[in-house]
Chains A and B, each alone.
Chain A
Amino acid sequence: MDLESLTRTSGEWLKATGPDSDIVMSSRIRLARNLAQFPFPSRADDSVRAEVDELLKTQLAKHPAGRKLNYIVVSGLELLDRQMLVERQLISREHSESHGQRGVGISDEENVSIMVNEEDHLRIQVLRSGFALDDCWQEINAIDDAIEADRTYAFSDRLGYLTACPTNCGTGIRVSVLMHLPGLVHTKEITKVFQALQKINLAVRGLYGEGSQAMGDFYQISNQVTLGKSEEQLIRTIKDVVPNIVSYERRVRQELVSKNRRGLHDQVSRAYGILKTARTISSEETMDLLSSVRLGINLGLIDDMEIPLINELFVHTQPAHLQKIRHEKLETVDRNVARADYIRQRLNERR
């Protein structure tokens, strides 16, 4: 896999091909697994880490469940390249900033990524466009089975898969959906959603930025409990709740349109206009405006732009991507100019 060419492509999960992908940007499942005969990565010295990395790299080269994976030695990458993988959601920030020999196996479409020597020996992740958790589970389960056929995982009858942090013990599963909820944010009804989710033990966090106000109106909903419930049960909890949020968001959007179509049309058109003409723009403002344009397209208020390009811009306008596109290190001020240039070029080439 050529990291330089990644700046010209985007992951399959951004293509908006999945069910309900106007609101559910992506579905994701990850499994935490460890090899039974090694200490966990944080307790492993360099030679053990190298041994684990070597072993699992060889394992992944066998195409688990028929999946071809490109193995990238993360510890051999420059900071900018590691950050780019973080921005594409292929590795975690922790994996980027960690130390010692480590890597990641990535499928061509970027639907599968398997981190080696993160907090656990293996962090397997499957991503899909739209609301498609069953597909994610089928695929990740098959990959997990294939690796497990050759390697002995750390497992106990009582506590399940044993992980470095007790918060992941048991199934080792994290099920999540990434939702675009501009309507609920606009009407401030998002807090009701938060409260309802907290009551059933689901975590909500903004995709970008910190705190309650998520940048770009993207929210990630995921399970916190991993022990005492089966994978299917944990998936079902999220599967049951997401359609309610989707229809809530749809209802709020329709209300916004019927109450003030002209005002909304004006707002999304202005956002589109700024993106197509700005000469310097911050990451925050970009997210904000892209969110408006995304809403505008989904409501039919903007008809000369497509969702996949907007989805791609959320990723490609982030710092590491911009610097990779420009082939140079850029400070914030210059990045803002580069970002505006890049957005103008991408949005206007479509006309």
Chain B
Amino acid sequence: MKCGRCSKPAVLHITELRQGEVQAIHLCEGCAKDYLSHSQASKGDGNPLLENETEEASLEELDQKTCPNCGIAFKEFRSQGRLGCPHDYVVFEEEILPLLENIHGDTTHLGKVPVRSPQASQLQFQLIKLRNELRLCIEEERYEDAARVRDSIREMEEMEHQTAPPTQADDTP
């Protein structure tokens, strides 16, 4: 992703809360330094992301909000500018819609629609969730659990294959 102020690669991704509106800012190293020193100087509280204390409280709460499937917290999205999985668009809908409105001036898709699956299904979200569990099992060296989770993933993948014939319109439960 490119810096929003020049064309260098962006290294800092900030989601700013302004008058209740969420705004994504992507900056390169140079512009980021500039941005940070500028906003620190103007606000004096050392935190460029916050407008006032009320928003600080709600932002902290918001930061804790986590996707049950991929495990990403809103805070991580805010700092990296990348979402963790397709389901995040549902989990963080309230925050992402104003962001999309800001970027695109619109929040409704008008283009191409896949023939096969108009909706990311619950089954697929479930798969992402299991993969996240698998990752945690392995990290925590719980290998028996990991094997069990892996089996469930295989089973679900089989199901996914069977429930999505090319002509089907919608496989969402």
By beta carbon, the residue of chain B nearest A205 is B7
Q: Which residue, of B6, B8, B9, B89, has the highest number of chain A Cβ atoms within 10 A?
A: B89
Query: Is the contact region of chain B dominated by helix, strand, or loop, or is it mixed?
Result: loop
Indicate if A87 sits at the interface (CB-CB under 8 A).
Answer: no
- Distance of A47 Cα from B69 Cα, bound (Å): 17
A227 lies within 8 A of B100 (CB): yes
Tell whether A166 pairs with B115 under 8 Å between CB atoms, given A36-B124, A39-B84, A158-B109.
Answer: no
A230 cross-chain contacts in B, Cβ below 8 A: 110-112
B82 lies within 8 A of A155 (CB): no
A162 lies within 8 A of B86 (CB): yes
A141-154 contact mask (Cβ, 8 Å, vs B): 1 or 0? 10011001100111
Stretch at the interface among A63-71, A108-116, A167-175: A167-175
Indicate if A341 sits at the interface (CB-CB under 8 A).
Answer: no
A173 cross-chain contacts in B, Cβ below 8 A: 111
Closest chain-B Cβ to A66's Cβ sits at a distance in Å of: 18
A152 lies within 8 A of B83 (CB): no
B111 lies within 8 A of A45 (CB): no
Chain B: residues with Cβ within 8 Å of the partner, total of 54
B110 lies within 8 A of A228 (CB): yes
Indicate if B164 sits at the interface (CB-CB under 8 A).
Answer: yes
B107 cross-chain contacts in A, Cβ below 8 A: 158-159, 227-228
Mark out the residues of chain B between 84 and 129 whose CB falls within 8 Å of any chain A CB in the assembled complex.
84-86, 89-90, 96, 99-100, 103-121, 123-124, 127-128
A165 lies within 8 A of B7 (CB): no
A93 cross-chain contacts in B, Cβ below 8 A: 9
Closest chain-B Cβ to A101's Cβ sits at a distance in Å of: 15
By beta carbon, the residue of chain A nearest B112 is A231
Q: How many A-B residue pairs have CB under 8 A?
A: 167
B70 cross-chain contacts in A, Cβ below 8 A: 39-40, 43
By beta carbon, the residue of chain A nearest B160 is A37
Indicate if B166 sits at the interface (CB-CB under 8 A).
Answer: yes
- Distance of A205 Cα from B24 Cα, bound (Å): 21
A231 lies within 8 A of B111 (CB): yes
A43 lies within 8 A of B86 (CB): no
B7 lies within 8 A of A152 (CB): no
A145 cross-chain contacts in B, Cβ below 8 A: 115
B24 cross-chain contacts in A, Cβ below 8 A: 166-167
B6 lies within 8 A of A210 (CB): yes
- Distance of A242 Cα from B103 Cα, bound (Å): 24
Tell whether A48 pairs with B111 under 8 Å between CB atoms, given A166-B103, A226-B104.
Answer: no
- Distance of A44 Cα from B84 Cα, bound (Å): 8
For B109, give its contact among A149, A160, A233 (CB under 8 Å): A160
By beta carbon, the residue of chain B nearest A141 is B112
B157 cross-chain contacts in A, Cβ below 8 A: 37
A152 cross-chain contacts in B, Cβ below 8 A: 114, 116-117, 120-121, 124, 160, 164
- The interface of chain B, by Cβ under 8 A from chain A, is 1-2, 6-9, 24, 69-70, 72, 80-86, 89-90, 96, 99-100, 103-121, 123-124, 127-128, 131-132, 134-135, 138, 157, 160, 164, 166
> Assuming A39-B84, A171-B112, what are 18 further A-B pairs, CB within 8 angstroms?
A37-B123, A37-B124, A43-B83, A44-B131, A47-B135, A48-B131, A144-B112, A149-B115, A153-B117, A154-B124, A155-B119, A156-B120, A157-B109, A162-B89, A164-B82, A167-B1, A224-B103, A227-B106
7 A-B pairs (CB sep. < 8 Å):
A40-B82, A42-B82, A43-B70, A166-B24, A169-B104, A225-B103, A233-B110
Closest 4 CB pairs of A and B: A228-B106, A160-B109, A154-B86, A43-B84
